[in-house]
Amino acid sequence: MPVYAYKGVTAAGKSTRGQVSAENLRAARLKMRDDGIFLTDIAESAAGAAAVAPDSEAESRFSFNVPIHLGRRIPQLARAVATRQLATLTGAGIPLVEAMGALVEQIEHPYLKAVMAQVRDRVNEGSSLADALHDSGEFDTLFVSMIRAGEASGTLEPVLMRIADYLEEQVRLSGKISSILMYPAFMLAFTALVVVVLVTFVLPQITSLLQDLDQDLPFYTEWVIGGSAFVREWWWALLGLLAAGVIALRAFIRTEGGRAAWDRLALQLPVVGSIVRVVAIARFSRTLATLLSAGVGIVQSLDIARFVANNKVLSEVIDGARTAIVEGAPLARPLRASGEFPPMVTTMVEVGERSGELEAMLDKVANTYDEQVEATVTKLTSLIEPLLILVMVGIVLVIILATLMPLLQVTNALA
């Protein structure tokens, strides 16, 4: 029986190598896949079955390769880089299988490397790239649909470039918003830490001192002391209630009606609602433009883009627009009739449909709204920062006044 030398990555992301005996190459790949090893390279060993090293045989016999599904998330930036590299390789005229092999060698993320190695093997066995990506389970419908359209139209290289641009734009916007929100999040955490320290360590000492004075305390001082004692005694119950509330809320959101109610509430919130709406419409517009430019049909593109919007209310509107298009109506009409899309969006969609440049208009909508999101979040952050500082100062000031005023009154009485 032939012996094959292999290199691969376990489901936990650790590199491994060894030898395996099988009837043929395909059987060897299936055997390694069943063992939880994602192959990056495999070839028949020239030494034959007798050359199997004892260590490798022992490793094959006693290795504990249980598939682990935790932490196997591929970063969006890694996907974007790999997609652009594949576009460059195919654009240089390299056959797809050879391009996939070169791509696997260049990828640094261990799990993505293993997944792309499996995709390469499937393509080498005669599968289309889109089917191989779909079977891996690691690429969404948007990605697979665009690859399928690119393969069908013979424009795989520009489609890959378009996907890479889309992924990089999503990473850029997410990174920008995260960096803007980092300082307010830090200030909020610091405020919580200050309050915890005051309630846990400072207030108990001052409380014992005030109680030893045997004086009537102001009502606000009694409130602060009582609140501090309640938090110290029942902190575990408060944390339990908070955790139970979060779990109940998440369970409610997972239901069909709960998700619709939550998304509708998010759209109606002051300030935050406009940001949620703009982000959802920007993602929908850019996704739809990307799909249409790749040659995907408008009906299938809308079916994919409605999930990318990630808002149940807007998804229902988009689904209704898809039905209207099937019946022969233009896209702009149902979007305008819903009242959920701003007039600027519906006007640009209508102009794009009339001029035959719908993809370009959708791109302009996405770019405009991305800039609006950044500007709005920046302004909101500039308002939140001083507000958090005032809240922190106010909490500390209330605690200090509530504890020091009785001490000052006693001091003045003694003087």
Q: Which residue has the higher pLDDT, 409 or 231?
A: 231
Query: Is 216:227 a contact under the CB 8 Å cutoff?
Result: no
Cα gap 63→74, rounded to integer Å: 25
Q: Are residues 326 and 193 in the same domain?
A: yes
Question: Is there a domain that residue 41 lies in?
Answer: yes
| Residue that is last in its domain, among 25, 46, 62 | 62
Q: Which pTM was predicted?
A: 0.64
Strand partners, 8: 16, 39
Those residues with Cβ within 8 angstroms of residue 356's Cβ, 6 or more apart along the chain or in another chain:
none
The per-residue b/e assignment along 173-193, b for 16 or more CB within 10 angstroms, e otherwise, is beeebeeeeeebeebeeebee
Q: Calculate mean pLDDT across residues 270-274.
A: 84
Query: Is 199:232 a contact under the CB 8 Å cutoff?
Result: yes
Q: 67 falls in which pLDDT band (50, 70, 90)?
A: very low
Report the range of poorest mean pLDDT among 85-99, 157-171, 245-259, 381-395: 381-395
> What's the full length of the chain, in residues?
415
- Residue 215: give its domain's CATH number: 1.20.81.30
Query: Is 308:287 a contact under the CB 8 Å cutoff?
Result: yes
Q: How many Cα neighbours within 13 Å face the side chain of 336?
A: 12
Q: 244 falls in which pLDDT band (50, 70, 90)?
A: very high
Cα gap 372→324, rounded to integer Å: 30
Strand partners, 20: 4
Cα gap 5→45, rounded to integer Å: 5
Query: 413 pLDDT exceeds 70?
Result: no
Q: Calculate mean pLDDT across residues 388-393.
A: 81
Q: Which SS3 state, helix, strand or coil, does residue 93 take? A: coil
Residue 410 one-letter amino acid: V
Query: Is 332:349 a contact under the CB 8 Å cutoff?
Result: yes
Residue 12's pLDDT is what? 60
Cα gap 300→278, rounded to integer Å: 23
Percent of the chain with pLDDT over 70: 87
Cα gap 116→113, rounded to integer Å: 5
Q: Calculate mean pLDDT across residues 95-115.
A: 88
Residue 327's pLDDT is what? 87
Q: Are residues 188 and 55 in the same domain?
A: no
Residue 132 one-letter amino acid: A
Q: 187 falls in which pLDDT band (50, 70, 90)?
A: confident
Q: Are residues 195 and 329 in the same domain?
A: yes
Model confidence pLDDT, tens digit, residues 304-336: 888 777 788 898 999 899 899 988 889 999 999
Task: Give one word for 36, left, alpha or beta, with left for phi > 0 and alpha for psi -120 to 50.
Answer: left
Angle at 388 between CA 386 and CA 393, to 5 degrees: 95
Q: Are residues 43 and 189 in the same domain?
A: no
Cα gap 23→19, rounded to integer Å: 13
Considering the chain, what is the average pLDDT of its residues?
A: 80
- Number of domain units in the chain: 2
Q: Which residue has the higher pLDDT, 159 or 61?
A: 159
Give the pairing type, strands 37-44 and 15-21. Answer: unpaired
Query: Is 32:18 a contact under the CB 8 Å cutoff?
Result: no
Question: Is there a domain that residue 154 lies in?
Answer: no
Question: Is there a domain that residue 166 lies in?
Answer: no
Q: Are residues 187 and 51 in the same domain?
A: no
Cα gap 84→90, rounded to integer Å: 10
Strand partners, 6: 18, 42
Q: How many CB atoms lie under 10 A from the CB of residue 244?
A: 10
Model confidence pLDDT, tens digit, residues 3-32: 777 777 676 666 777 777 777 777 777 777
Residue 347's pLDDT is what? 92
| Residue that is last in its domain, among 45, 62, 79 | 62
Residue 52's pLDDT is what? 39
| Residue that is last in its domain, among 41, 62, 83 | 62
Residue 3 host element (H or E): strand 3-10
Q: Are residues 384 and 250 in the same domain?
A: yes
Cα gap 252→297, rounded to integer Å: 35
Query: Is 21:1 a contact under the CB 8 Å cutoff?
Result: yes
| Domain around 44 | 3-62
